[in-house]
Amino acid sequence: MSRYLGIGLLLVACAAALTYEAKHAGLTQDEPSHFAAAYMYWLGEDVLEPSDAPPLTRAISGWVPVILHAPNPRETKYWEKRDAYMVGSEILSRPNTRARRLLFYTRLPFAIFPRLIVFLTWHWARQLFGEPIALALAFCSALEPTILGHGAIINSDVPAAFAALWFAYAVWKYWRNPSVLRIFIVTLAILIAILTKFTLLPLALVGYALALWKGPRLVAAVSIPVILYVGILAASQFQAQPIPPAELSSFGPAGVPHWALPAVNLAARLPWPLQFVRGLLYIGGRMQSEGWTGYMLGHKIDGLTPAYFPFAWALKFPIPLQALTVAGLIALLARIRRRQTSAADKLIWLPPAFFFGTAMLSNYHMGFRHVLPALPFLILGGGFEMERWGRGHAGRAAIALCLAWLAVSSLRFYPHGISYFDEWIGSPSNAWKYLADSNVDWGQDWPDVAEYAKRNRIQTINTFILGFDSPWHYIKEGVSPQPWPSQSSPAGYHFQPQPGVYAVGANLLSGLAYPVGYEDYLDFFQRRVPDGQAGYSVLIYNVQ
């Protein structure tokens, strides 16, 4: 039992940290949509748009508003438009404490996934490197700020990271000892991955090809497609129908290669969950279009920007973990030169190469969280070099230094891991000059704005904060949202503040969320050093 004590204590600490974080954070940008979609799923009316909330997101959390008797989505004023964002926002923004409790309890099921990542990192590393290194790597996973920060909100990024890690581990076990049982475990891991994140669908092709190559081939050829199909139907409550012509004609524009369309047309004869198909088409269509406008180094970015995710990795992945990753890569190159690589090398290093490679070639520039599935692998990869360090006194001292540095760097931001930036940028108040969107500001810091106003006895606080959260949950009176520029505003118009205290979120301070031509609308604040900050995404300015 003693060998489980360390990981047990670490998991208990993670649970406590995630519970507090779920209680503390304000409503983030995508949570209203995921909340509404999950709620409607459990009400048996999964009809809201967009359809991008994966089936697992719907299934694991939508029961909470049902048993808590949340307001019926049909009674919201946005129901006729079937707008998931506005329906969820209206329910979660009602001015009472019940709405905050509803959000908190709906978040709690998602807190299991960071703990599963910590446990699986430890479990796999224990078989590769031994108990001490495994516990050190589990500690790194528990304190990785992006995993921790996004781990207690209604979102699919951390669940996707666990699903990808479990898939790789299941394949590693299967590769070492192929059997029918392990084919079923790999298939279950594939199913969970697909249900967790639409962009993990390529894992089905990878797993199927590996199973056919390694065998038993007949079992794999038959069981994998059948289990995946039935699992998708079950996750969608068996609400299925043949794919309508309108959706079927969208597969080509959504990125399905021309040569694969005949197979798609054949599969379309089977009944499929319509929301699942629409979710795939929605994500695929956005990936084929111009995508979402991003922000890097003071400018909006569109289209292909390969440097975005490596740049985000340099600023949002803790420096000690960067050092371990680089050391692990150097150790990998040495093993390649000596022809000593194993299946573990491939299954630990190829996934982050895939996730970063596809992200760099995409038009998704909304945040480092989009490569979150790569992070547990980068931590595990550092274990190859950490194992060598652990053989000597100097190496063990280096490991202790890395862990201590990580703890200080991560915990100084807690519970604001969403806004974490490492020491390369200097002061955290500089973060908006480098990146924006969910890298810094996802609307999560309204509770800290309220606490700042209360602590400093501010009677009226003027706000420029983007998001769906309602300030009146936290500040009963004395909050004044400020106007945005409109199409009727003069070109190049800049906001001229009156005397008072202003709370300015990073997404508006950077100009990311403003229309083209008005990026410098808040030029007055951009040129000033802030007088304070609320959390790490909202800067405070005292205008005399």
Domain annotation covers residue 29: yes
415 in the same domain as 312: yes
339 in the same domain as 411: yes
Domain annotation covers residue 344: yes
Q: Provide the pLDDT for residue 289.
A: 74
Burial class (CB in 10 A: 0-12, 13-18, 19+), 395: middle
Domain annotation covers residue 426: no
Domain annotation covers residue 177: no
Amino acid at 529: V
69 in the same domain as 100: yes
451 in the same domain as 499: yes
Q: Provide the pLDDT for residue 459.
A: 93
Q: Provide the pLDDT for residue 1.
A: 60
Which portions of the chain are predicted below pLDDT 70? 1-2, 96-97, 290-291
Rg for the chain (alpha carbons), in Å?
24
406 in the same domain as 489: no
Q: Provide the pLDDT for residue 290.
A: 66
Which domain covers residue 453, as residue numbers?
Answer: 434-543
349 in the same domain as 384: yes
410 in the same domain as 370: yes
Judged by DSSP in three states, 380 sits in helix
Domain annotation covers residue 323: yes
Reported as a single tens digit per residue, the pLDDT across 491-516 is: 778 999 999 999 999 999 999 999 88
Distance CA 126, CA 131 (A): 5
104 in the same domain as 27: yes
Looking at the structure of the chain, the number of domains it has is 3
Q: Which of 390, 419, 448 is the last residue of a domain?
A: 419
Q: Provide the pLDDT for residue 438.
A: 95
Angle, CA 150 vertex, CA 447 and CA 164 arms, to 5°: 170
Q: Which of 375, 391, 419 is the last residue of a domain?
A: 419
488 in the same domain as 392: no
What are phi and psi for residue 301, nearest 5 degrees?
-130, 145
Domain annotation covers residue 27: yes
DSSP β-ladder status, 500-505 and 461-464: parallel
527 in the same domain as 465: yes
Q: Provide the pLDDT for residue 212.
A: 93
Residues 6+ apart with CB under 8 A from 122: 7, 10, 134, 135, 137, 138
415 in the same domain as 314: yes
Domain annotation covers residue 234: no
What is the DSSP track for 117-165? HHHHHHHHHHHHH-HHHHHHHHHHHHH-HHHHHHTTSS-SHHHHHHHHH
Domain annotation covers residue 237: no
442 in the same domain as 390: no
Q: Which of 55, 88, 111 is the last residue of a domain?
A: 111
